[in-house]
Structure 1
Amino acid sequence: MIKNIITQLKNKLFLVAYSGGLDSTVLLHQLIIAKKTIPDIKIRAIHINHNLTSFSQKWIKHCKKYCEKNKIPLIVKNIFFDEQINNTEEKLRIKRYNIIYNNLLLKEVLLTGHHMNDQCETFFLSLKRGSGPTGLSSMSFKTMLGDKKIIRPFLNKTRKELEFLANYHHLNWIQDFSNFNTNYDRNYIRHKIIPELEKRWPFFLKNCFRTIKICQKETILLNNFLLEKIQNFVQSDNSLNIKTFKNIKKDMCTALIRRWIALQQIKMPSYKNIECIYDQIIFSRVDANPKIKIEKNEIRRYKQSLYFIKTQPIVKNTFLFWHKKNNKLFLPNDLGYLVQNDQGISLPKPKKSELINIRFQYEGKILILGRNKTRKIKKIWQEKNIPPWLRNQIPLLFYNDDFISALGVFIVDIKHKNKETWKISWQNDLKPTNKKFLFY
């Protein structure tokens, strides 16, 4: 079984997620057997200790002993978690996969022992959440963890089949008694729901697995169709053009929004959130500034496009003094730094008595250099195509309380008496989300 997978993958490096339980023990043992006939493969194991039970140190010893016996390098990592936090199962899963990802070597494939029972449980959890075909597709045999592969060789095997293999090879495994705690949703499905269904319909697990496969195929077909379709809407700056969305059926619009979000490589939000994006952003007032938060990101609308942006800390009340102007001035919020050099924008030089300071907010009317009429700064931001979420990220240069420049965007005409000039560069990774932004 494993040998065939290794041959098909043409891969040499494997990391096994090894809890010491039944499925991961059988998986590791199968790899050890395969190595006897494919000696050039390299196997490592990783054990994540969640520190949720007094038995955890005993389990580590068990895993170390088995790996030492079979000459398998073992990585042991700890997670310390506050059990008072809601959604513990999901938070632990995220932490676990982050640790595993950070320990994967280049071209190393992660193998997990998920089996058909796990797949069916995931299917029921998706039903509980009201998921669509994508959620009901549950786990795939092969998927990606960032830029690394995950393979689940046992997805078409039941737990009973793995138990048979374990007993046949006289394997010992850990029994985690927390897996019997039916306060956890997955355990409730495992011990209360599925056994009853199997009593009534002995082939329920296999039929459930077949339904999942159908959902996976339908999802792949839909995604391929949408991927081709969405090329007409995704712009060069990765924004989504929604100009014609009001003339397209809602179901197609929400499907396109989902596909666009999937391109951002984050966990897919619920259908309810997608509908909120459609109802509250696309159909909000033209002059509104709507946003919807998704994890640490935001969906924002600017003019006739949707933007996916990382939520930034608020810096509009930040006030920085640049006392040593021959040195770099580092800005907050990873906004880079200011430096005096020949490549910068030419500005009136401050007098010795003037305090150079940087702010990130200004309200009121200003006169831009080269103009003959003052305008509200909000109108100038709009004229320069700077969206609302970037306006408080641009450093504003002041001498005392005199507004001198929004660096990289415009210079204020203040009739400064000093005829000398100096040049300032703003070195930053701030990426305009509209190719029409008029950054100098």
Structure 2
Amino acid sequence: MIQDIIKKYKYKLFLIAYSGGIDSTVLLYQLVKIKKNNPKISIRAIHINHNMHINSNKWQIHCINTCKKYNIPLIIEKIDINITNNIEEQLRIKRYNLIYKNLLNREILLTGHHLNDQCETFFLSLKRGSGPTGLSAMSSETIFGKSKIVRPFLTKTREEIKTLANSNQLKWIEDFTNLNINYERNFIRHKILPVLEKKWPFFLRNCFRTTKICNEETILKNILLKEKIQKFLNFNECLNIGNFKNLKEELCKALIRYWISLKNIKTPSYNTIQRIYNEIIYNRKNASLKIIIQKNEIRCYKKFLYFVKIKKNIKNMIIFWHDTCHKLTLPNHLGYIIRNNKEGINLPKPKNGELINIRFQHEGKILILGRQKQRNIKKIWQEHNIPPWLRNQIPLIFYNNQLISALGVFVVNQTMKYQEKNNQNQWCISWINNVQSNDYSNFVFN
């Protein structure tokens, strides 16, 4: 299996996730053995010290010594965070983010996951009520950001790996917390699978076949959804749900789930997708309804579904711009405001003594340039198709307590107060921003 992987990839760069346990020890040994006849292969290892065990530092020293013996470069990363809830999941996310940070360009991550691990993952997904995607468990190859995770031992049992380790007289770490059945995976490992294997000796193989079938079904479904969803995607990646009531519920939910999967976050639960369908797609009685998914919101506006990153509430914030010769940086990564002589919006200059300040909320009626009558600012936002969640992210420029402009949207009609016969009493203001874009700076491992 490992030989096949090496032949498959043009760039022979591999990073081994090395815990020091039996699985990763055998994987490291096999790669070192192959490298002797394939000098072009580049091997590195990474060890994540979780600092969760009294022997964590001893295990780290063992990994350092083993890699020195094989002349393999080793990266050490430590996790120094206090975790009280969902420990296994939180450590897994942190661990993979640290590994991803250290991956080189075109380097493949290799892990020691085997057939028993696969069946354990299958049962955990079954316990959570997962569908075919979750029941696919682990793939032999998984996209990992701009790289890949490859699991060469996924068709090998734990016993087969142990036989390899003993026959080569390898030394590895024994983590006795793996015997603690209070952890869900350990409970499945020690209490469930042995009973099933004793009753049905081929259970592990058949379980793997089921995960493979689920994976193939998921791949096929995603191929079809990728083509189908193009009809519903807008230019800014929002989802047009105007016609969703005419589609079957199952197709609607599949399209929503696939759309969310494009956002590089962990796939939401079945119940969350059902809520989006019931409360937003089907009923749509509450225009301001939002459904929170991790640090994001699903919102609906004018027959479009939006994926919105949750931001700090700044509607009561006031920022003074005293020195207009320098740019004014805005909160919430909203960019900055700058005085510009060529581009931007032309505004009347403030009078002597007037304080220029930026706010993010205004209520009531206003008269904007080009209009004969005052209108409620809410109606003006609607005319410009600005969704409710963006309205408190648009900088409003005030002179003292007088609203002058919503930058990039409108200018208040202040001709009686500010108009002059020439343009000497005007200045140009630019708002440099990326409000419409989504910023995913951290890799999220699913």
**What range is the shorter-chain TM-score in?**
over 0.9
Structure 1 residue 139 displacement after superposition? 0.5
**Correspondence for 2:441:** none
1:421 aligns with 2:426: yes
Give, as a single letter, the amino acid of the residue that structure 2 aligns with 1:240: L
Query: What SS class does the counterpart of residue 39 from structure 1 fall into?
Result: coil
Structure 1 residue 418 displacement after superposition? 5.7
The answer to whether the 8 Å contact 1:284/1:290 transfers is: no
1:329 aligns with 2:333: no
**Correspondence for 2:92:** 93
Quick one: distance in 2 between partners of 1:143 and 1:270?
21
**Correspondence for 1:44:** 44
The answer to whether the 8 Å contact 2:287/2:301 transfers is: no
Counterpart mapping for 1:290-439 below 5 A: 290-342=289-341, 343-414=343-414, 415-417=416-418, 419=420, 420-431=425-436
Quick one: distance in 1 between partners of 2:62 and 2:201?
35
Counterpart mapping for 1:30-429 below 5 A: 30-84=30-84, 86-285=85-284, 288-342=287-341, 343-414=343-414, 415-417=416-418, 419=420, 420-429=425-434
Q: Structure 2 unaligned runs (5+)? A: 439-446
The answer to whether the 8 Å contact 1:346/1:421 transfers is: yes
The answer to whether the 8 Å contact 1:348/1:416 transfers is: no
The answer to whether the 8 Å contact 1:357/1:400 transfers is: yes
Give, as a single letter, the amino acid of the residue that structure 2 aligns with 1:195: P
Quick one: distance in 2 between partners of 1:190 and 1:220?
28
Structure 1 residue 204 displacement after superposition? 0.8
Query: What SS class does the counterpart of residue 153 from structure 2 fall into?
Result: coil
Structure 1 residue 11 displacement after superposition? 2.8
Q: Percent identity?
A: 62
Structure 1 residue 395 displacement after superposition? 0.2
The answer to whether the 8 Å contact 1:350/1:418 transfers is: no
Query: What SS class does the counterpart of residue 283 from structure 1 fall into?
Result: helix
Query: What SS class does the counterpart of residue 255 from structure 1 fall into?
Result: helix
Q: Which region of structure 1 is more displaced relative to structure 2, 295-304 or 90-99? A: 295-304
Query: What SS class does the counterpart of residue 416 from structure 1 fall into?
Result: helix
**Correspondence for 1:27:** 27
Query: What SS class does the counterpart of residue 170 from structure 1 fall into?
Result: coil
Quick one: distance in 2 between partners of 1:266 and 1:423?
40
Give, as a single letter, the amino acid of the residue that structure 1 aligns with 2:132: P
Query: What SS class does the counterpart of residue 301 from structure 1 fall into?
Result: strand
Measured against aligned partners, the alpha-carbon deviations of 1:225-272 in whole angstroms (never above 9, x if no partner) come to 111111111122101110111111111100111111111121100111
Quick one: distance in 1 between partners of 2:81 and 2:177?
16
Give, as a single letter, the amino acid of the residue that structure 1 aligns with 2:299: R
CA 1:341–1:320 in structure 2 vs 1: closer, same or farther (change >3 Å)? Answer: same
What RMSD in Å do the two structures reach over aligned CA positions?
1.2
How many residues were matched structurally? 432
Quick one: distance in 2 between partners of 1:333 and 1:285?
29
Quick one: distance in 1 between partners of 2:256 and 2:418?
53
Structure 1 residue 284 displacement after superposition? 3.6
TM-score (norm. length: structure 2): 0.95
Measured against aligned partners, the alpha-carbon deviations of 1:333-358 in whole angstroms (never above 9, x if no partner) come to 11111111121210010012101110
Structure 1 residue 387 displacement after superposition? 0.5
Measured against aligned partners, the alpha-carbon deviations of 1:102-124 in whole angstroms (never above 9, x if no partner) come to 00001110000000000000000
TM-score (norm. length: structure 1): 0.96
The answer to whether the 8 Å contact 2:347/2:426 transfers is: yes
Which structure is richer in relative contact order (CA contacts within 8 A, separation 6 or more)? Answer: 2
Give, as a single letter, the amino acid of the residue that structure 2 aligns with 1:416: K
Structure 1 residue 287 displacement after superposition? 6.0
**Correspondence for 1:15:** 15
Query: What SS class does the counterpart of residue 37 from structure 1 fall into?
Result: coil
Structure 1 residue 432 displacement after superposition? 7.2
Give, as a single letter, the amino acid of the residue that structure 2 aligns with 1:56: S
Q: Which region of structure 1 is more displaced relative to structure 2, 8-17 or 65-74? A: 8-17
Q: Which region of structure 1 is more displaced relative to structure 2, 2-11 or 414-423? A: 414-423
The answer to whether the 8 Å contact 1:349/1:418 transfers is: no
Quick one: distance in 1 between partners of 2:224 and 2:329?
46
The answer to whether the 8 Å contact 1:16/1:112 transfers is: yes
Give, as a single letter, the amino acid of the residue that structure 2 aligns with 1:226: L
Quick one: distance in 1 between partners of 2:245 and 2:193?
44
Quick one: distance in 1 between partners of 2:230 and 2:64?
50
Quick one: distance in 1 between partners of 2:229 and 2:426?
49
Q: Structure 1 unaligned runs (5+)? A: 434-440
Measured against aligned partners, the alpha-carbon deviations of 1:184-222 in whole angstroms (never above 9, x if no partner) come to 111111111111111111111111011111111111111
Quick one: distance in 1 between partners of 2:70 and 2:327?
56
**Correspondence for 1:437:** none
Quick one: distance in 2 between partners of 1:417 and 1:114?
72
Quick one: distance in 1 between partners of 2:142 and 2:212?
14
The answer to whether the 8 Å contact 2:140/2:151 transfers is: yes
Query: What SS class does the counterpart of residue 393 from structure 1 fall into?
Result: coil
The answer to whether the 8 Å contact 2:22/2:173 transfers is: yes
Quick one: distance in 2 between partners of 1:321 and 1:42?
56
Quick one: distance in 2 between partners of 1:172 and 1:13?
25
Structure 1 residue 4 displacement after superposition? 2.1
Quick one: distance in 2 between partners of 1:284 and 1:214?
36
